[in-house]
Amino acid sequence: MRPHQWVKNVFIFAGLLFSRNLFSTSILIKVSSGFLIFSLAASSIYLLNDIIDIENDREHPKKKNRPLASGQLNVSTAWAAAFLLAVCAVLFAYLTDRLFFFIVVTYILMNIFYTLKLKQLVILDVMCIASGFVLRVLAGTSLAGVVPSDWLILCTITLSLFLGFSKRRHEIIFIGHEAGNHRKVLTQYSLPFLDQMISVATACTVISYALYTVSDETVSRFGTRNLIFTLPFVFYGIYRYLYLIHERKSGGNPTSAFLYDRPLLINCLLWGVVTFGIIYYPLLR
């Protein structure tokens, strides 16, 4: 079920934070419930993915130790758990909010197609991963009852593409010549190509966020131009992640990088504190 990967679902709280509804107890509870529901949906997909990839995972230096690949977990048990988690996620989503229900169903169906076919298609595999993050953001805004900002969606897309291509680069470096045995699509990627894609995604992420902080829409919504002072944290976060990829030969798992790389974790926390202060200070005065 990979509960440590549930960290990705914090994207659900983006709409809550930037809509200034963080202090609304009812909305906070609703979005938090959405986080748990999305986590159930994600875990059902992780189980399905491990079932389908069980043979390929056995060729991977680390993934061979996963419960299914190592034989610690029975395949029939995994099928039952995946089905039960998916049903629970869909049912709870339907009872929570109709638009949220549609987003959760879309996420599950998209990832089923990804697991069965799309992850074998070069570029589309990474774009599919990016779509999952966008759906998380849309899920959060639907539960918060706000219209998602175009800038929020754009920043999410570019950041998730950056992480996705970085993940593919790390897989090629880490597995080496056996990469194709683990994931066939890796044979269609090369390091120069991935470095170019990462560079494009990096530039788009930074520029999108920078333009967001100074846009008329943002200034009008928050009544301040101070959000631009969060830009150094974004620069450092991107640069630190690139350092992990190129110099530490890590970064293949964004969740682990953000949780266990202390400089990156501290930077994310500082960005959150500063962003919260800038957005919510006028409301606390």
Q: Where are the domains of the chain?
A: 1-147, 149-285
Q: What is the pLDDT of residue 176?
A: 67
CA dist., res. 255 & res. 271, Å (int): 17
What is the pTM assigned to this prediction?
0.87
* Cβ partners under 8 Å of residue 268, min gap 6: 233, 237, 258
Q: What is the pLDDT of residue 211?
A: 92
User: In angstroms, how far is the first alpha carbon of the chain from the final one?
Assistant: 43
Q: What is the pLDDT of residue 20?
A: 87
Closest by Cα among 231, 230, 245, 241 to 264: 241
Averages of pLDDT over runs of 10 residues in the chain (285 residues) are: 88 90 91 95 93 80 80 90 96 94 96 90 92 94 89 92 90 71 78 94 94 90 90 94 84 75 93 93 74
- Using an 8 Å Cβ cutoff, are 14 and 140 in contact? yes
Q: What is the pLDDT of residue 252?
A: 64
Domain covering 1-147, topology: Tetracycline Repressor; domain 2 (1.10.357)
Q: What is the pLDDT of residue 236?
A: 96
